[in-house]
Amino acid sequence: MASSRNPLDELRETLGNLADQIKLPGSDRGDDRVGELFNARPGPARPLAEVQAELDALVGLESVKEQVRALVALLQVQARRKAHGLPEVATSQHLVFLGNPGTGKTTVARLLAEMYRAVGLLQKGHLVEVDRSALVGQYVGATAMKTDRVIRRALDGVLFIDEAYALFPDDGRMDFGPEAIEVLLKRMEDHRHRLVVIVAGYPRLMESFLLSNPGLRSRFAREITFPDYSVDALETIFKQMLAQHEYTLEAGADQMLRRILANIHAGEDSGNARFARTLFEQSLNRQALRLSRDEGRSLDTLDRDDVMTLTTDDLVEAAQALGEVPEPEPQAPAAPHPSRWNWRNWP
């Protein structure tokens, strides 16, 4: 989704544009240099078991974990067959991730890329995450160049295209998106041993995207569905963040946390795990403000408990800052609903 861009990605794009401008006709060196600069040393591959353990530690997502396990097992068996001199069955590794925003698609794609590296399918196993704007140009010829550049960056790793259906606007206007799809399909074929493509987005829009071009359906044969998180799962995710960063909730704040999480409705706009994360981050802001406003005390005298504890009020104010108002207690008058906070713009 339109998350704020990584400064490294921006730098990479600027260098890529510069490389295009200084490139001699027919030469790829400039672009390759940019690719080398950013992807050259991905560090040693992590053992498969370690990456698998990280995947297993994610809250919920049982069916996703099961499908990833099956994918990796198939690759391992094929590798063993090859070692025994048996023919490999070439299967397409390109995937469709169906799920609402914040359901863990990028997180799983990154781990899957590492697993592919660990089992020897990909040499680098990095993840290049893009949306329409990185692939589609404004004028004739620009799209093929941009898409090619992105693909070169992704070679030996995973290319993750978020909101892929944006490449195929259904309002009939003239658009270069389909050109990007054509280039992508061609390069997937040219580099079939060096590139895994994952297209991702809202379930209801992905189907028409896959039907928009006959080549797409056949190349993306496998679909993995990321369900919305339950309130219990969101609570566990929030509490994992607390534990990981050594924060605690004051007594009784648990109930408020559940009320806030129960109030965000499952679906395309809920924000899912991303909401849990931003709620946590906002709560830290609120705690800091509360502590700094305590006129009786200087910040220097705060003890360990003070700086570790998030209160019910911290949670309420954080939720309000995010445009979510916890359901009022039955006897209290209904609070006005402020304009919804747009969590998509959150980093």
Looking at 23-141, list the stretches that DSSP marks H as alpha helix, in order from N- to C-terminal side. Answer: 29-39, 48-57, 62-83, 105-118, 132-135
Residue 273 interacting with ligand ATP (CB under 6 A): yes
Q: How far is CA 8 from CA 14, 38, 54, 125, in A?
A: 10, 9, 25, 18
Question: Which range in 53-61, 78-86, 168-176, 183-191 contacts ligand ATP by CB under 6 A?
Answer: 53-61
Of the candidate residues 223, 277, 291, 325, the single one contacting ligand ATP (CB under 6 A) = 277
Question: Which range in 75-83, 106-114, 189-197, 212-220 contacts Mg ion by CB under 5 A?
Answer: 106-114
Residue 128 interacting with ligand ATP (CB under 6 A): no
How is 79-112 classified by DSSP, letter by letter? HHHHHTTPPP------EEEEE-TTSSHHHHHHHH
Residue 283 interacting with Mg ion (CB under 5 A): no
Q: Judged by CB, which is closer to ligand ATP: 35, or 102?
A: 102
Residue 103 interacting with Mg ion (CB under 5 A): no
Give the pair of three-digit tokens for residue 57.
Answer: 């530690």
- Closest residue to Mg ion using C-beta atoms: 106
Taking a C-beta distance cutoff of 8 angstroms, is the pair 267, 100 a contact?
A: yes
Q: Judged by CB, which is closer to ligand ATP: 105, or 117?
A: 105
Residue 132 interacting with ligand ATP (CB under 6 A): no
Give the pair of three-digit tokens for residue 48.
Answer: 């498969």
Secondary structure (H, E, C), 260-318: HHHHCCCCCCCCHHHHHHHHHHHHHHHHHHHHHHCCCCCHHHCCHHHHHEECHHHHHHH
Q: Which does 35 bind (CB under 5 to 8 A by kind): Mg ion, ligand ATP, none?
A: none
Q: How far is CA 319 from CA 212, 272, 290, 311, in A?
A: 40, 14, 15, 13
Question: Closest separation between CB of residue 265 and ligand ATP, Å?
Answer: 16
Q: Judged by CB, which is closer to Mg ion: 180, or 200?
A: 200
Residue 150's nearest CA partner among 127, 169, 168 is 127
Which residues make Cβ contacts (< 8 Å) with residue 313, sequence separation at least 6? 286, 290
* Rounded Cα gap, residues 212 and 176, in angstroms: 14
Question: Closest separation between CB of residue 54 and ligand ATP, Å?
Answer: 10
Total Cβ atoms within 10 A of residue 225: 13
Of the candidate residues 30, 99, 227, 326, the single one contacting ligand ATP (CB under 6 A) = 99
Question: Closest separation between CB of residue 22 and Mg ion, Å?
Answer: 33
Q: Judged by CB, which is closer to ligand ATP: 19, or 61?
A: 61
Of the candidate residues 78, 106, 270, 278, the single one contacting Mg ion (CB under 5 A) = 106
Angle at 61 between CA 77 and CA 198, to 5 degrees: 60
Residue 33 interacting with ligand ATP (CB under 6 A): no
Q: Judged by CB, which is closer to ligand ATP: 193, or 245?
A: 245
Q: Which residues between 220 and 249 bind ligand ATP (CB under 6 A)?
A: 237
* Rounded Cα gap, residues 249 and 257, in angstroms: 9
Q: Judged by CB, which is closer to Mg ion: 127, or 257?
A: 127
Residue 326 interacting with ligand ATP (CB under 6 A): no
Q: Judged by CB, which is closer to ligand ATP: 35, or 60?
A: 60
Q: Which residues between 153 and 172 bind ligand ATP (CB under 6 A)?
A: 162
Taking a C-beta distance cutoff of 8 angstroms, is the pair 149, 16 a contact?
A: yes
Q: Which does 101 bind (CB under 5 to 8 A by kind): ligand ATP, Mg ion, none?
A: ligand ATP
| Distance, C-alpha 214 to centroid of its chain | 27
Q: Which does 274 bind (CB under 5 to 8 A by kind): Mg ion, ligand ATP, none?
A: ligand ATP
Burial 177-186 (b: 16+ CB within 10 A, else e): bebbbebbbe
Chain positions contacting Mg ion, by CB under 5 A: 106
Chain positions contacting ligand ATP, by CB under 6 A: 1, 58-61, 99, 101-107, 162, 237, 273-274, 277
